[in-house]
Amino acid sequence: MRDAAPKTIFLSDYTPYPWTVESVNLHFSLDPHATRVRSVIRFARNPAYAGDTPDTMFLHGEQVKLISAQIDGTAVDPEVTGEGLTCAVPAGSFTWEAEVEIDPANNTALEGLYMSNGMYCTQCEAEGFRKITFYPDRPDVMSVFTVTIDGPHPVLLSNGNPVKTGEHHAEWHDPWPKPAYLFALVAGDLVAHSDTFTTMNGRQVDLNLYVRPGDEGKCAFGMGALKASMTWDEQVYGREYDLDLFNIVAVDDFNMGAMENKGLNIFNSSAVLASPETSTDMNFERIEAIIAHEYFHNWTGNRITCRDWFQLCLKEGLTVYRDSQFTSDMRSAPVKRISDVIDLRGRQFAEDQGPLAHPVRPESFQEINNFYTATVYEKGAEVIGMLKTLVGEDAYYKAVELYFDRHDGDAATIEDWLKVFEDTTGRDLTQFKRWYSQAGTPRLSVEESFELDTLTLTFTQHTPPSAATPEPQPLVIPIAIGLIYPDGREALETKVLEMTKEVQSFRFTGLEDRPVASVLRGFSAPVVLTHDLSDADRMLLLSADTDPFNRWEAGNMLARTTMLAMIRDGAAPDPAFLNAIKGIALDESLDPAFRALMINWPGPAELANVLHEAGEVPDPEQLFTVGEQIRDAMAETFADAASDLYARHSVSGAYQPDAAQSGKRALSNVMLAFISRRSGTETAQAQFDSADNMTQQISALSQILRHGEDSTALDAFYQQWKDDRLVMDKWFGLQVSCAKPEDGADTARRLTDHPDFNHKNPNRFRAVFGALIGHHAAFHHKSGDAYTLLADWLITLDPLNPQTTARMCSAFQTWKRYDADRQARILAEVERILATPDLSRDTTEMLTRIKG
């Protein structure tokens, strides 16, 4: 039963657990509806616990039926509630033994032990282990686990190294102390794609990627990415893998992307399975990044974990930062940076500027699952990037080395993390720490003045107050800048200014001429920059900036200005700018992937945010129309070039998901969109018919859906791929994304009636509703139908899967941007969901915060 009043947990209330856990033995007898878990847990007094050890102990436990319990061999009768049990305990060390029963087959929340297509698997982060057995389920309680499993399956896996493995029985021992959230168990009829890796010290590690029979052909890429990650972490961070075995398992039903359980990573199948025929270039890139991310957690997360869940960014921000470095090294660093900033502005800025704003290290929560956010992950990674920019590359790696040395085996805090930087560099990071404690996107503006040979840049910073941070203080902002002379020569190479005050000036002397300032190069801080450059100055940066990010940014700002002028006064786009973009697209000296990004215009969600920031009310239909007009104008501009560019960048030879080939496909597929818009779908149809890979097939299909007349290709695609779950997710999502705004909700509704729709599968649910939410004009159609449809389905899903339901609620977080009618419609749906009896704690917290 749920509590009437939700409990809020505060960072400031942290106290250590009174006991340490010296060892944990778990025995599982698997059964779909009646799995038995026997636990033997050695408790000892925790010397770090201030005060007398209590004479009763609390263990978390939810949805577990206690069969029997003993302390030191004597039966005990603890008091059990919906949240755990309380039991009298002896003064010194003692052994707790218990047997519980759980029901994995009915576990639709996908938290704890659950079943997916007949296979057993677990998800314990953040607080899922308490659904497996009674335990102090908090990350600062670390222990050595030994696990035995009896079950009718050929493959029985847990963390660490195998002691005994056989059919129907296995024993596992993990020598590395870990918190319960890193526990994992898998049992199923699985096949392994195997390989080995030899570490920097010559140790051989067995690698397995376990998949369902039939998916063997989709493992090779993930395995390659794993080995590349292992090598990279040795070379760049000096981190060696620490077990004889590393297993990855793919599951179809999973709430998130993947999970870093010690030695037994569990992946959403969409985040690991790949083949050229079924996966797009973007899928491959995402899989490579997620494999790296989870692998990198072995050190940043597992060897050093978090003291409490408020410190989540300690492992996530750092690990996202590390995986972004990896992707930059494996592919194109500028392209990765630009893509990350687009994503940051799209998701994190929206969060940080709305009712869900919270600091990178939150100070309170009701449901921790609601804090696996873009702010904790992506802004958390930006904060690490800023730290590196401020202290420099050498000091960064020295400090991180010290972090590994000093805190290996610890459950650490942000204070610990910052201290290694202070100790390495002698810097005082007190002010920098505000990046962890203050919510809100800082606004940074710059004024220029030029006299004789001196340019003065005056910066002003301001973070808007929010409920989470009513009185923001000035931050330390690293501002990377360069100067470009009007003739295109570089007047100053990249230099990092360190801003600490609210208003601060920097002088540059000895200049020959008034230069154009290229400010915030590489997006050196996660802020909204206001820099009133003339269009001519932006054109200069667009053509001559040596910083690829700011080159893109100059184009992006011009594009934004163009679209805003179209929205505000119906102005036509400036042909000179369109032609400048065309020039870049045709510039064969540039990376095709970069060129494809340069042709990309700001989307409606970004424009809606910009208008809202300017105190205007965005009209989603108008934003859609302007987007169409821009695409028409671009198609016209490229009329004489599109076919040639398309042909020149079509890839011949065997498909490779690497940066070079995927960049070409990205560029040629932008051209395909222009061609289809002007001349119909003949070229797209030809590409669809001849495609030997999913990138080509699906981009052709999307043009056919947008510009074609009948559903032949869509049906053919269905017939070809109906047995492939991941491709069918694309089939579902694409129809919604390509729908006309007024048809979006109906299309989604129709798809929920399709026999292959299954709302219990998070991937399929997200395929339809993620696409609907992502289709700005459809989601915000004035009828309000999409709001209602989403609310209906959130109400349906909440009792089954609160976590996925709550995450989807963030679709409503931008409600304040829109007109009174849309606001009222959204709020009515929010209230309707909130009025649902027994609504989960997850969804209740999200919607209550969104209402503000």
> What is the binding site for ligand PHE (CB under 6 A)?
123, 125-126, 256, 258-260, 293-294, 316, 372
Nearest 5°: phi and psi at 156? -130, 115
CA distance 29 to 169: 9
What is the nearest approach in angstroms of ligand PHE to the Cβ of residue 371? 10
What is the nearest approach in angstroms of ligand PHE to the Cβ of residue 535? 42
**Residue 259's binding partner out of Zn ion, ligand PHE, none, with CB under 5 to 8 Å set by partner kind:** ligand PHE
Kindly write down the DSSP assignment for every residue of 225-244, as one continuous string. Answer: HHHHHHHHHHHHH-PPP-SS
**Residue 256's binding partner out of Zn ion, ligand PHE, none, with CB under 5 to 8 Å set by partner kind:** ligand PHE
Q: Which is nearer to ligand PHE, 141 or 713 (CB)?
A: 141
**Residue 258's binding partner out of Zn ion, ligand PHE, none, with CB under 5 to 8 Å set by partner kind:** ligand PHE
784 alpha carbon, distance to own chain's centre: 28
The token pair that represents 41 in the structure block? 């847990």
What is the nearest approach in angstroms of ligand PHE to the Cβ of residue 231? 20
8 A C-beta contact, residue 435 and residue 389: no
Q: Which is nearer to ligand PHE, 184 or 357 (CB)?
A: 184
**Considering only residues 288-317, where is the footprint of Zn ion by CB under 5 A?**
316
- Amino acid sitting at position 173: H
8 A C-beta contact, residue 655 and residue 675: no
Stated length of the chain? 852
What is the nearest approach in angstroms of Zn ion to the Cβ of residue 414? 16
Dmax over Cα atoms in the chain, in whole Å?
89
Which residues on neighbouring strands pair with residue 454, listed in sequence order? 451
CA distance 98 to 432: 47
Q: Which is nearer to ligand PHE, 260 or 845 (CB)?
A: 260
CA-nearest of 57, 273, 17 to 140 is: 17
CA distance 615 to 606: 14
What is the nearest approach in angstroms of Zn ion to the Cβ of residue 233? 14
Strands (E), 151-294: 155-158, 161-166, 169-178, 185-188, 191-198, 204-211, 245-251, 258-259, 264-268
Taking CA 421 as the corner, what is the angle to CA 419 and CA 425, rounded to the nearest 5 degrees?
Answer: 120
Kindly write down the DSSP assignment for every residue of 32-73, as one continuous string. Answer: SS-EEEEEEEEEEE-TTS-SPPPSEEEEE-SS-EEEEEEETT
- Number of neighbouring beta carbons within 10 Å of residue 12: 7
275 alpha carbon, distance to own chain's centre: 22
CA distance 747 to 762: 19
Residue nearest to ligand PHE (CB): 256
What is the nearest approach in angstroms of ligand PHE to the Cβ of residue 122? 11
**Catalytic annotation, pick one of 294, 367, 382, 829:** 294
- Amino acid sitting at position 316: E
Strands (E), 570-625: none
**Residue 178's binding partner out of ligand PHE, Zn ion, none, with CB under 5 to 8 Å set by partner kind:** none
DSSP code at position 595:
H
Q: Which is nearer to ligand PHE, 309 or 717 (CB)?
A: 309
Q: Which is nearer to ligand PHE, 383 or 700 (CB)?
A: 383
Q: Which is nearer to ligand PHE, 305 or 681 (CB)?
A: 305
Q: Which is nearer to ligand PHE, 300 or 466 (CB)?
A: 300
Size of the site for Zn ion (CB under 5 A): 2
Q: Which is nearer to Zn ion, 134 or 377 (CB)?
A: 377
What is the nearest approach in angstroms of Zn ion to the Cβ of residue 324? 12
- Amino acid sitting at position 16: P
Q: Which is nearer to ligand PHE, 121 or 387 (CB)?
A: 121
**Residue 190's binding partner out of Zn ion, ligand PHE, none, with CB under 5 to 8 Å set by partner kind:** none
- Among 125-133, 319-327, 580-588, 729-737, which window interacts with Zn ion (CB under 5 A)? 319-327
- Number of neighbouring beta carbons within 10 Å of residue 529: 17
- Amino acid sitting at position 501: K
Instruction: Respond yes or no: is residue 621 known to be catalytic.
Output: no
What is the nearest approach in angstroms of ligand PHE to the Cβ of residue 114? 12
8 A C-beta contact, residue 563 and residue 636: no
What is the nearest approach in angstroms of ligand PHE to the Cβ of residue 316? 6
Nearest 5°: phi and psi at 152? -80, 30
CA distance 9 to 3: 14
Which residues on neighbouring strands pair with residue 197, listed in sequence order? 205
* Residues acting as catalytic residues: 294
Interacting residue ranges for Zn ion, rule: CB under 5 A: 316, 319
